[in-house]
Amino acid sequence: MPEPFISGPQLKRLHTLWGLLCRHAHIPPEDRDARLGWFTGAVGRPVTSSKQLTLEEAKGLINEIQKHLPPELVRKNPRRRPDRRTAQSYGTAGRRGQSQGKTIDLIDATTWNVLRGLLARAGWTQERLDAFVRSPHGPGRLATMADANKVIWALRNILRRAKKLATRHAPLGTQREEVAAT
């Protein structure tokens, strides 16, 4: 019985990783001959199409490409999209004019991770966050998704404004010329 060919998800993963490898190694990703040549060398037999690969060969190629990439580019567990209700809560909880409805969503682990990432980018400590939450501009407490969203939106605005100010007040010959060129 012949071995089964590469699956659709494997093919997608293989080509995604190949694109990352090309970007990392400064190879044009659209160079089909380079891709098939690399696959041929790694598999040990001539490959004229990615769809000719078997499941095991594809698995080996995926693992081989991942070895050549930095770990931060290779995610073992890709981030899953939130379900519809959670995604709506991320977008609307805490906004003016939005009713809370009958449910109150508490902050989940994903939201805490977003908050921690924004705090790190802003250079804030936990004490600075607590002071902001208790300030007149903060939500007063940090318990619900609405509270978290208010803090997230504020931190994103602070970071966006800091980036604008840094670009606007940069010395000549640095970022100002890059902004003018775009």
Tens-digit pLDDT profile for residues 33-42: 989 999 999 9
Instruction: Based on the fold, state whether residues 42 and 106 are members of the same structural domain.
Output: no
CA distance 106 to 138: 17
In a domain, residue 50? The reply is yes
> Could you tell me the residue range of the domain that residue 47 belongs to?
8-73
Query: Do 163 and 138 share a structural domain?
Result: yes
Per-residue confidence (pLDDT) for residue 176, from 0 to 100: 47
Average pLDDT over residues 55-77: 85
Identify the pLDDT of residue 109.
83
User: For 119-158, b where at least 16 C-beta lie within 10 A, e where not — what string?
Assistant: beeeebeeeebeebbeeeebbeebebbbbbbbbbebbeee
Identify the band that residue 179 occupies on the pLDDT scale cut at 50, 70 and 90. very low
Instruction: Report if residue 128 sits inside a domain.
Output: yes
Looking at residue 95, its amino acid is R
- Tell me: do 67 and 97 sit in the same domain: no
Same domain (yes/no): 177, 88: yes
Q: How confident is the model at residue 76 (pLDDT cuts 50, 70, 90)?
A: low
In this prediction the pTM is 0.47
182 pLDDT tier (thresholds 50, 70, 90): very low
Q: How confident is the model at residue 170 (pLDDT cuts 50, 70, 90)?
A: low
Are residues 155 and 123 part of one domain? yes
> What's the mean pLDDT when you consider all of the chain?
82
Residue 181 in this model has a pLDDT that exceeds 50: no
Position 2 in a domain: no
Question: What is the rounded average pLDDT of the residues 77-85?
Answer: 71
Kindly state the average pLDDT of the residues 139-154: 87
Would you say 148 and 107 are in contact if contact means Cβ atoms under 8 Å apart? yes
- Does 79 fall in a domain? no
Q: Are residues 105 and 131 in the same domain?
A: yes
Residues linked to residue 54 through DSSP beta bridges, in sequence order: 5
pLDDT of residue 45: 92
